[in-house]
Amino acid sequence: MGAMQIDTMRAIDYWVGIPLTFLVTLAVKAWEWLFPRPPQPPRHVLFIELSEMGSTILVDPVLRHLQRDHGLVPFFLIFARNKASLDLLRPIPEENIRTIREDGLFHLAWDTLTFLIWARRRRIDTVVDLELFSRFTALLTGLSGARRRVGFHAFTNEGLYRGDLLTHKVAYNPHIHITKNFFALAHAVTATQPETPYAKIVVPDSALALPQAVVTPAEEAAMRTRIQEWAPTYDPAQHRLVLFNANASDLLPLRRWPQANYIALARLILERHPRVFILLTGAPSERDGLDAIPAALRQAPGGDRCANFAGATTLAELPALYRQAAFMLSNDSGPAHFAAVTALPTYVFFGPETPRLYGSLGPTTPIYAGLACSPCVSAANHRKTPCDDNVCLRVITPEQVYEILRPALLALD
């Protein structure tokens, strides 16, 4: 999805979303005033997270908490292109997952309409809107038919207007990790007494633990074979894999550390650590753009120990890949969170966003310059920054990153 498409979606969300959320608010409040229903304890809880694949990992501890400790039946609504992210840990039964296609207005409208019918047939009584800034998800929440509607609300803070469709309004806290914010939503789901605002609880760090993905020996062997097919110079008997995830979502391209820096860092590593083999990971659409990295290293010492593996795996196969590697260096994007379902150490670049809020739940080291202007995107600005030059990432040099990675690299020699 290109930047123009994203800006178009933001414009539609603004110019169409504001009047629609206002009108739907009036309609929903009038309906519930005319046809009141006594409050019922939650049973069938629908979570809505459409656009952020990494958030399906970050919310996993919350889903398991509500199932394990409260016996609730979870459902999930997500964009079709992101559905595979739910397959890594499978926190939701397949039959309880609903998708919306976003490849055209007709599919978007049709899937939205059929979702509203599906929600009523599934007797969804509670909806949890995990999104921070989408008026579309606010509309889906309000029109779902659920009488208990939980989500983040601005209260007296500045924030996006999303109507007044929530029955349980949670104070979004930009100073704690997003998973703790998700636990605040879960508290509002199960609270027996009203709070203004929700949620007056402490979420311990221990609550953020993730289960580990199950990878069979056969899956590991198949992944080794595939790596050798795509990277013929790779020899698992003498090489140790280091993964570079050198791309990021088009939703926020400013999260990318410059490709030239990845090339310079790879050159340093390959020259100084002869056992390291660098494998570039990414989606099929990112493969062509990543070809420039091994091409630039072809004549460098050790340049044959770098290969482009983008598009070689499905998302569900990533745990098998991560089990092969020593560590991963990544831009702030989905794979940094996907790796958290394994024991793979990750090193993740941050700039427009902060690791305090969106850091991986796995063994991770943030690489963050901490400029005065950083982070510059938030729920309050629709993740749209005026910045046109990500100095917050460009200022981080390959030599600095090498020094951060050096202890892990020396352990591979």
Q: 95 phi and psi, to 5 degrees? A: -70, -10
Is 60 inside a domain boundary? yes
Is 13 inside a domain boundary? no
The verdict on 88 and 203 lying in the same domain is yes
Contact predicate 278/305, CB 8 Å: yes
**Helix 3-15 vs helix 135-143: angle between axes, to the nearest 10 degrees?**
50
Give the span between the Cα atoms of 260 and 289, in whole angstroms: 12
Give the span between the Cα atoms of 13 and 21, in whole angstroms: 10
Q: Given this model, what pLDDT does residue 8 score?
A: 79
Give the span between the Cα atoms of 329 and 327, in whole angstroms: 7
Residue from 160, 165, 113 nearest 14 by CA: 160
Q: Which amino acid is at 385?
A: T
Q: 366 phi and psi, to 5 degrees? A: -75, 145
Is 315 inside a domain boundary? yes
The verdict on 25 and 148 lying in the same domain is yes
Q: Given this model, what pLDDT does residue 11 score?
A: 83
Residue from 169, 165, 141, 142 nearest 153 by CA: 169
Is 376 inside a domain boundary? yes
Give pTM, 2 decimals: 0.93
Walking along the chain (413 residues) 10 residues at a time, the average pLDDT comes out as 61 90 97 93 97 93 97 97 93 97 92 98 98 93 98 87 96 94 98 95 96 96 97 96 85 88 98 98 93 95 97 96 98 95 98 94 97 88 86 98 98 96
Side-chain half-sphere of 138: how many Cα atoms within 13 Å? Answer: 28
E strands, 195-344, where? 240-245, 276-280, 306-308, 325-330
Q: Given this model, what pLDDT does residue 158 score?
A: 75
The verdict on 129 and 166 lying in the same domain is yes
The verdict on 30 and 127 lying in the same domain is yes
The verdict on 344 and 403 lying in the same domain is yes
Q: Given this model, what pLDDT does residue 133 score?
A: 81
Contacts of 258 (CB under 8 A, 6+ apart): 393, 394
At residue 73, the 3 state secondary structure works out as strand
CATH of residue 78: 3.40.50.2000
Domain of 362, in residue numbers: 217-410
Is 341 inside a domain boundary? yes
**Domain boundary pick from 208, 230, 250:** 208
Give the span between the Cα atoms of 413 and 408, in whole angstroms: 9
**Domain boundary pick from 157, 174, 208:** 208
The verdict on 53 and 157 lying in the same domain is yes
Tokens 């202890």 sit on residue: 407
The verdict on 226 and 172 lying in the same domain is no
The verdict on 251 and 352 lying in the same domain is yes
Q: Given this model, what pLDDT does residue 5 score?
A: 67
Residue from 379, 389, 384, 386 nearest 55 by CA: 379
Is 1 inside a domain boundary? no
The verdict on 231 and 279 lying in the same domain is yes
The verdict on 181 and 261 lying in the same domain is no
Structure tokens, 183: 């636990």
The verdict on 284 and 387 lying in the same domain is yes
Residue from 398, 401, 403, 367 nearest 264 by CA: 398
The verdict on 200 and 238 lying in the same domain is no
Total domain count for the chain?
2
Contact predicate 310/227, CB 8 Å: no
**Domain boundary pick from 208, 237, 258:** 208
Is 10 inside a domain boundary? no
Q: Strand pairing partners for 108? A: none
Helix, strand and coil content of the chain, in percent to the nearest 5, comes to: 45, 15, 40
Is 5 inside a domain boundary? no
Q: Given this model, what pLDDT does residue 1 score?
A: 41
